[in-house]
A and B are shown apart, each in its own frame.
Chain A
């Protein structure tokens, strides 16, 4: 314990600055890319049409197709994807663990000094706490396959990116359920807070590093960060709206068509079998437990 404290004190400044840096690189940069990609589920149809592609698809179907292509590209073309992911998770763990440690060393006093900047200070901390819970849920359910945390039990698949995503946030493969709406609200809160956290963090980082010194410079950089934050907020809400509004069956059709076109019908059957197998397996296990219980 005292060794830990000693290490932290000796490298206090470096660790503090790495904490600040890690929020921008890689986490912030990833956040931008992630939200822009995900929001394509909403605007991708228009983009395809603008390019003169996907003429036989509706705007909604086009969005699904665009999103699916982006996801396939990431999952098949990006080299060392796992390494990138692990670095990202490590950066998030570093940033959040230290962040919680630092945040708990302050004591907010909004009651008496309710300035807007002080509110930002407090919100930065709470958005961090809630944001990390959200990120954990988001990654665990959609990346690590912790399906027991998904109301529909759906496992996200990069072959069926939009349909499995829709099922995960809507609560079932056949439309909204109450718990699905709760999950979506959690997503809404989570992404909104995280976008704020990033925009505000970017603003304060400029003071921390000494890029913005004068009040004027801090103000101007504030406008830049606000604009960036607003843009990202829009992207975040579009992503979520896209996932929430996408019809599972429509998405599955579009995704299947892409798979057939690219790899032939056998591949699709193979993939579907795999998914079914998984589900059968689950049911099977359930049945066995049931029988076990009955017998017991």
Chain B
């Protein structure tokens, strides 16, 4: 049984039974356009097991609970310490990184079930591995960089107060994992890259635009960024459900970013109206 309270570790969580086996119910897909199917695996655990270590065990022993031999389950991962975002998936109905997801918290008893699904807002490449290209495209659209390339030396960088630096540091932690987009009711799956320019861009790119707008040199591209963010799919498509900020594993103040970019958008639009640029 999936326990409803197993999403988040709590102080009164049941003690994990050592040496138990746990059922992994996995939503699988053989490739783009292929149908989904569910398969379950019984996996022995060790203290400190996480979802990735269990997926490794399944890869080595790809036999379902019905005794059927199947293909190894595919997933993506990189850092294994919750800083790259590659291993993001939907675990027990909620999006998070799988590398930092401890089985002791999620399935403390013998026979408990953990459900794994690929993120629903991105195209599935295979099984739990999705294509997050749209997020990188969004970063390009909002010019998520500081423009320093050129033909002459720009000299030393700007001075920055420690407070401002702290504020920007929090924004810099984004790992493009996609949790905020997966949980956002306004951000919908869009397989066709042609529609990426008009579909809601989501909290990740909005917050990154703010991050680079706040950099003194980066601010040179603010007008371009705000053109994109006041266009279709820009910041005004946010519905203020504020799910993004609650699921962000890096605790990035996304709703503050949305407010800040909303303010820039207001100013940008008024300027444009009266000055024409």
Which residues of B (182-240) have their CB < 8 Å from a CB of A? 183, 185-186, 188, 198, 230-232, 234, 236-240
Check A210 against B185 for contact (C-beta < 8 Å): no
Residue from the list B188, B234, B243, B262 in contact with A207, Cβ < 8 A: B262
A256 to B254, CA, bound (A): 60
B258 within 8 A of A: yes
B228-264 to A contact mask, C-beta < 8 Å, 1/0 = 0011101011111111001100000101101111111
Q: Please name all residues of chain B whose beta carbon is closer than 8 Å to the beta carbon of A207 when the two chains form the complex.
A: 240, 255, 258-259, 262
Q: Please name all residues of chain A whose beta carbon is closer than 8 Å to the beta carbon of B237 when the two chains form the complex.
A: 16, 105
A9 within 8 A of B: yes
Check A13 against B234 for contact (C-beta < 8 Å): yes
Check B186 against A105 for contact (C-beta < 8 Å): yes
Q: Please name all residues of chain B whose beta carbon is closer than 8 Å to the beta carbon of A117 when the two chains form the complex.
A: 240-243, 246
When C-beta atoms are compared, the residue in chain A nearest to B263 turns out to be A210
Check B183 against A109 for contact (C-beta < 8 Å): yes
A124 to B239, CA, bound (A): 10
B78 within 8 A of A: no
Residue from the list B240, B264, B267, B269 in contact with A204, Cβ < 8 A: B240
**What's the count of A-B pairs with C-beta under 8 Å?**
103
In this complex, how many residues of chain B approach chain A with their Cβ under 8 Å: the count is 35
Minimum distance in angstroms from A114 CB to a CB of chain B: 10
Check B253 against A106 for contact (C-beta < 8 Å): no
Residue from the list A14, A106, A121, A124 in contact with B269, Cβ < 8 A: A14
A284 within 8 A of B: no
Check B185 against A109 for contact (C-beta < 8 Å): yes
Q: Please name all residues of chain A whose beta carbon is closer than 8 Å to the beta carbon of B259 when the two chains form the complex.
A: 206-207, 210-214, 217-218
CB<8 Å pairs between A and B, sample of 17: A9-B198, A9-B231, A13-B236, A13-B265, A16-B237, A17-B236, A17-B266, A102-B239, A105-B188, A106-B185, A117-B246, A120-B241, A207-B259, A210-B260, A210-B264, A213-B256, A213-B259
Which residues of chain A have a CB within 8 Å of any CB of chain B? 8-9, 12-14, 16-17, 102, 105-109, 111-113, 115, 117-118, 120-121, 124, 204, 206-215, 217-218
